[in-house]
Chains A and B, each alone.
Chain A
Amino acid sequence: DTEVTQTPKHLVMGMTNKKSLKCEQHMGHRAMYWYKQKAKKPPELMFVYSYEKLSINESVPSRFSPECPNSSLLNLHLHALQPEDSALYLCASSQGAGISYTDTQYFGPGTRLTVL
């Protein structure tokens, strides 16, 4: 199984809502990532988990809260978002836990988030 799955595919939420994005992989990968991508732009790294521990936080606002319950799952909890947070949120995983420069990343299909 070389697939990274993400749910939901689409999400519309108000600025006062609390929602969560979910990501799952069963490839035994030790690193998992959250990216944010705006239209016609490259993905921007948000968070990296290595061996289920947060290793990189790219100064993301606290209204985004990541969680890694186990080695296969990655969540992104959303609260009090702003309209400018509307974007495609991508999850990825890679085999290496140390973010080796030889690692390739496997991406999920993304969650299209719209904040009203």
Chain B
Amino acid sequence: SQQGEEDPQALSIQEGENATMNCSYKTSINNLQWYRQNSGRGLVHLILIRSNEREKHSGRLRVTLDTSKKSSSLLITASRAADTASYFCARYGNNRLAFGKGNQVVVIP
């Protein structure tokens, strides 16, 4: 499959803790993107990491990419209740953006 696939897990953490989720894929990529979806609403683009990058930061988000292991991780530091959402990795393959299975993150105030 060309589709990125997160470890299918639901994560429940306390506010202020860090949340880490992973994404694996099976074929080569040009970049990997992460999106957030709040409670059945539209997806919001969070960050794009290119295949020649190993780490990228955006605010409280840190994304790593290991092309040798075909995996990526998304770290949210100092989580807030507003971070409660589903997080999807996505990659382009076959002229389309294919989403992984998603991780549900619940941040408890």
- List residues of A whose CB falls within 8 A of some B CB: 4, 6, 39-43, 45, 48, 56, 88, 90, 92, 99, 101-102, 104-110, 112
Interchain CB contact (< 8 A) of B43 among A6, A39, A41, A43: A43
Q: A45-B96, A48-B96 are in contact. Are A104 and B41 (CB under 8 A)?
A: no
Could you tell me the distance between the alpha carbons of A108 and B42 in the complex, rounded to whole angstroms? 5
Q: Is B81 an interface residue (CB 8 A)?
A: no
- List residues of B whose CB falls within 8 A of some A CB: 30-31, 33, 35, 40-45, 48, 88, 92, 95-102, 104
Could you tell me the distance between the alpha carbons of A42 and B42 in the complex, rounded to whole angstroms? 11
Could you tell me the distance between the alpha carbons of A90 and B99 in the complex, rounded to whole angstroms? 14
Interchain CB contact (< 8 A) of A109 among B33, B35, B42, B99: B42
Residues of A within 8 A of B30 (CB): 101-102
Residues of B within 8 A of A40 (CB): 102, 104
Let me know if B48 and A42 touch, CB within 8 A: no
Could you tell me the distance between the alpha carbons of A39 and B75 in the complex, rounded to whole angstroms? 24
Let me know if B42 and A56 touch, CB within 8 A: no
Could you tell me the distance between the alpha carbons of A102 and B92 in the complex, rounded to whole angstroms? 9
Interchain CB contact (< 8 A) of B99 among A43, A48, A56, A104: A43
Residues of A within 8 A of B96 (CB): 45, 48, 56, 99
